[in-house]
């Protein structure tokens, strides 16, 4: 019998739409930037169709999340302002992206450096988040 990852107790989209805050019932919480979620999208477009190395996604420093759509009881679909909307972020992936954020981000920055590509400096926005998912099975729209 497989173990299902816990359903987030809360998903909040930043008012500036540049971050997603995910909290789990065990107290784990992660603030993930839209850029990070976009470059590590679970879509075949980014991850590839055959399980090879991920595409190196560029120029997403200022990408925004336009919408967070619940998909059943197991995932959300993120719609980005660059038109990308084909990845389903299941609860296990969101947890993994949160837990491995520093390692994954350093891997991404290393790939950029190896390719001789510079990204824009991080932009710090302090807008307060608003609820997208405050409990399992419920959602709010803006």
Q: DSSP string spanning 69-91?
A: EEETTTEEEEEETTS----EEEH
pTM metric for this prediction: 0.81
Per-residue pLDDT tens for 35-65?
999 999 998 777 766 666 788 999 999 999 9
- Domains annotated for the chain, with CATH where assigned, are 10-117 (3.30.2020.30)
**Is the pLDDT confidence value at 13 over 60?**
yes
In this prediction, residue 39 carries a pLDDT of: 95
Q: How confident is the model at residue 120 (pLDDT cuts 50, 70, 90)?
A: confident
Residue 60 φ/ψ, nearest 5 degrees: -110, 20
Per-residue pLDDT tens for 66-88?
999 999 999 999 999 999 999 89
In this prediction, residue 138 carries a pLDDT of: 41
Task: Please count the CA atoms within 13 angstroms of the CA of 121 that sit on its side-chain side.
Answer: 3
Residue 2 φ/ψ, nearest 5 degrees: -85, 150
Note whether 19 and 129 are within 8 A (CB).
Answer: yes
């Amino acid at each position: 019998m497989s173990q299902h990852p816990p359903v987030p107790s809360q998903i909040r989209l930043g008012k500036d739409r540049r971050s997603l805050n995910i909290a789990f019932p065990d107290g784990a919480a992660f603030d993930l930037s839209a850029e990070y979620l976009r470059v590590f999208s679970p879509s075949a477009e980014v991850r590839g169709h055959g399980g090879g190395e991920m595409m190196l996604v560029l120029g997403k420093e200022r990408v925004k999340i336009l919408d967070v759509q619940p998909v059943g009881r197991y995932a959300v679909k993120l719609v980005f302002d660059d038109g990308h909307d084909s990845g389903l972020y299941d609860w296990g992936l969101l947890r993994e992206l949160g837990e491995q954020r520093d390692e994954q981000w350093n891997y991404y920055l290393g790939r950029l450096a190896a390719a001789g590509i510079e990204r824009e400096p991080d932009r710090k926005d302090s807008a307060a988040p608003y609820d997208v998912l405050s409990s399992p099975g419920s959602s709010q729209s803006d």
